[in-house]
């Protein structure tokens, strides 16, 4: 090998595996799309009346949608949508790239979860979007599920992947199942053979009959689906049901302290930087720990309007779910749901058992709080956590953060008297099948204390109470159990393998 090519190989390796420097994925601006495609994003932004949303109609490198945008806001796969097909040259270099841009060939799914709570009426909606296997596969699926009032459920899915589009640099994605094609051609919005990609919100409202679209601060959807009760998620596998929604989102907390900087962000990865690597699946990122939503949702004909109600967003991606997990979320605590976000409190807690290489498993759990712009993070690499989760109905957590400058202890108790609803999740072996149970009618209570290091006793002791026995608005907490089995109450302790802990804590040594 000549000296030059060795250097080239060396450089490729750095580009391929270097985790520290954030090389952006290839530029995906529309000018690089195929010639004969009229880019809808160009068309849409030129003709849009929704000027405040126009920037979001393009996937733009190094431009964050809002200050609270977290890492992993963009997609982690290359969609098979015609507008995202890689150039022949980049296809050849595919295998050297960091995985967000690799063409997937083994089981892969990415899912986005949004929840809004209308406290006055005890109504919550959860909008769940997912793409499984964005390549040729028996289990390819583009899917939208909605949990509606009274823990009811609707799903619409197609066993295809080419219509699903997603941006790499912001949280934008969508899929149109059915639309008024003739009208769009007549209005010069598209050419004959186009596959719809991002649409101006007004165009979505006007022409789309079934489908969904997320721009970072605008979520729209028209679900013409069913309740999944007759066997599956595809057409005719349940009793018909519909849901339409149009939600405008005002971010408050992403995942970290409040930070108004749009250019540089110090929002954090929920699972640490290791989340960039597929060996540490499954991946999870809370993208909006607290936000406010305005708009409407209709459920089987009944319309629910809401203004500045609590909103929450997260995403999951990877090849598999944990084998057993729990999750509790609440951002509707009594006295902390001010519409402008001046007084706010949000709890996100989750954990479970995941598989690690060579047949082992790891028990992990975290409890995180966003309180008036301050982020309290009790994650496996900053402290210990214990949980006790019943087969259904009770979730108890106790977590400490004994690392860094903000030491604290938090206790959480969530209870749910309703039965909840069994939801589907994209499992590794069977695709989209029942795998978890959720409810939005839980009651949550939390207490947050400072921790001080007592030099004499040589241990951490509780200091003053930051929050004590704060209760959620009745029956507005979200709770979930997944995987299993659940024959007995589940007691666990979060125990991250120490070498992983040291790795994940590296960035903390430089910051904070």
Residue span binding a second copy (CB under 8 A) among the ranges 31-39, 134-142, 395-403, 433-441: 433-441
CB 202 within 8 A of CB 159: no
Residue that has been written with the tokens 């009959």 in this structure: 209
Query: How many residues bind a second copy, per CB under 8 A?
Result: 18
d(CA 389, CA 375): 25
Among 183, 433, 461, 506, binds a second copy (CB under 8 A): 433
Q: How far is the CB of 483 from a second copy (least distance, A)?
A: 6
Residue span binding a second copy (CB under 8 A) among the ranges 166-174, 283-291, 314-322, 483-491: 483-491
Write the interaction track for a second copy spanning residues 391-430; mark x where CB under 8 A is met and - where it is not: -------------------------------x-------x
Query: H-type helices in 193-311, by residue range?
Result: 201-207
Q: Pick the closest to residue 486 from 452, 427, 436 (CA basis).
A: 436
Please say which residue, 346 or 494, places its beta carbon nearer to a second copy. 494
d(CA 208, CA 56): 19
SS3 305: strand
Residue list 306-325, contact with a second copy (CB under 8 A): 324
Please say which residue, 135 or 435, places its beta carbon nearer to a second copy. 435
Q: Pick the closest to residue 40 from 171, 233, 245, 207 (CA basis).
A: 207
Does 488 bind a second copy (CB under 8 A)? Our answer is yes
Please say which residue, 355 or 505, places its beta carbon nearer to a second copy. 355
Q: How far is the CB of 45 from a second copy (least distance, A)?
A: 44
Q: How far is the CB of 487 from a second copy (least distance, A)?
A: 4
> What's 37's DSSP letter?
P
CB 360 within 8 A of CB 339: no
Please say which residue, 77 or 153, places its beta carbon nearer to a second copy. 153
CB 314 within 8 A of CB 284: yes
d(CA 133, CA 238): 24
Among 483, 494, 496, 504, binds a second copy (CB under 8 A): 483
Does 435 bind a second copy (CB under 8 A)? Our answer is yes
Residue that has been written with the tokens 């997609």 in this structure: 75
Please say which residue, 280 or 381, places its beta carbon nearer to a second copy. 280
Which run of H or E residues covers position 13? helix 3-17
Please say which residue, 196 or 436, places its beta carbon nearer to a second copy. 436
CB neighbours (10 Å) of residue 36? 8
Please say which residue, 179 or 490, places its beta carbon nearer to a second copy. 490
Which run of H or E residues covers position 131? strand 123-132
Among 86, 319, 484, 507, binds a second copy (CB under 8 A): 484
Residue list 326-385, contact with a second copy (CB under 8 A): 355, 357-360
Q: How far is the CB of 135 from a second copy (least distance, A)?
A: 25
Residues 6+ apart with CB under 8 A from 277: 19, 99
Residues at the contact surface with a second copy, assessed by CB under 8 A: 324, 355, 357-360, 422, 430, 433-436, 483-488
């Amino acid at each position: 090998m000549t000296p030059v090519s060795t250097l080239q190989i060396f450089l490729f390796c750095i580009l391929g595996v270097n985790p520290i420097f954030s090389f952006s994925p290839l530029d995906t601006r529309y000018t690089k799309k195929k010639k004969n495609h009229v880019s809808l994003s160009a068309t849409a932004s030129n003709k849009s009346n929704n000027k405040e949303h126009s920037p979001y109609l393009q996937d733009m490198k190094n431009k964050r949608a809002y200050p609270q945008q977290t890492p992993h806001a963009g997609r982690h796969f290359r969609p098979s949508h015609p507008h995202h097909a890689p150039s022949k040259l980049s296809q050849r270099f595919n295998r050297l790239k960091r995985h967000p841009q690799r063409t997937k060939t083994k089981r892969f799914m990415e899912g986005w979860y949004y929840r809004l709570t209308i406290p006055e009426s005890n109504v919550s909606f959860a909008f769940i979007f997912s793409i499984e296997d964005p390549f040729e596969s028996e289990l390819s699926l583009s899917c939208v599920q909605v949990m509606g009032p009274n823990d009811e459920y609707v799903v619409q899915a197609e066993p295809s992947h080419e219509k699903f589009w997603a941006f790499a640099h912001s949280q934008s994605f969508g899929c149109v199942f059915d639309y008024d094609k003739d009208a769009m051609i007549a209005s010069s919005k598209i050419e004959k053979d186009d596959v719809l990609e991002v649409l101006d919100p007004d165009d979505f409202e006007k022409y789309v009959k079934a489908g969904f679209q997320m721009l970072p601060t605008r979520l729209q959807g028209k679900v013409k689906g069913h309740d999944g009760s007759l066997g599956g998620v595809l057409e005719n596998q349940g009793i018909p049901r519909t849901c339409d929604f149009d939600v405008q989102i005002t971010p408050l907390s992403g995942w970290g302290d409040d930070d108004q900087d749009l250019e540089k962000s110090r929002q954090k990865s929920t699972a640490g930087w290791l989340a960039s690597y597929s060996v540490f699946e499954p991946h999870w990122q809370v993208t909006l720990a607290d936000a406010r939503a305005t708009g409407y949702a209709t459920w089987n004909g009944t319309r629910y309007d809401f203004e500045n109600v609590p909103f929450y967003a997260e995403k999951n991606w990877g090849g598999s779910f944990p084998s057993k997990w729990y999750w509790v979320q609440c951002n509707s605590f009594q006295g902390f749901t001010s519409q402008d976000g001046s007084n706010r409190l949000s709890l996100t807690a989750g954990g479970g058992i995941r598989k690690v290489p060579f047949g082992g498993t790891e028990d992990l759990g975290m409890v995180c709080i966003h309180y008036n712009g301050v982020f309290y993070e009790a994650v496996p690499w900053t402290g210990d956590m214990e949980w006790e989760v019943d087969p259904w109905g009770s979730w108890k957590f106790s977590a400490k953060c004994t690392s860094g400058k903000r030491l604290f202890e938090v206790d959480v108790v969530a209870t749910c008297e309703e039965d909840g609803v069994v939801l589907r999740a994209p499992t590794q072996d069977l695709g989209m099948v029942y795998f978890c149970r959720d409810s939005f009618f839980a009651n949550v209570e939390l207490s947050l204390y400072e921790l001080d290091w007592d030099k004499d006793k040589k241990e951490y002791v509780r200091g003053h109470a930051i929050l004590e026995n704060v209760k959620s608005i009745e029956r507005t907490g979200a709770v979930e159990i997944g995987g299993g089995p659940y024959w007995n109450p589940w007691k666990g302790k979060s125990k991250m393998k120490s070498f992983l802990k040291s790795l994940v804590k590296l960035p903390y040594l430089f910051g904070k």
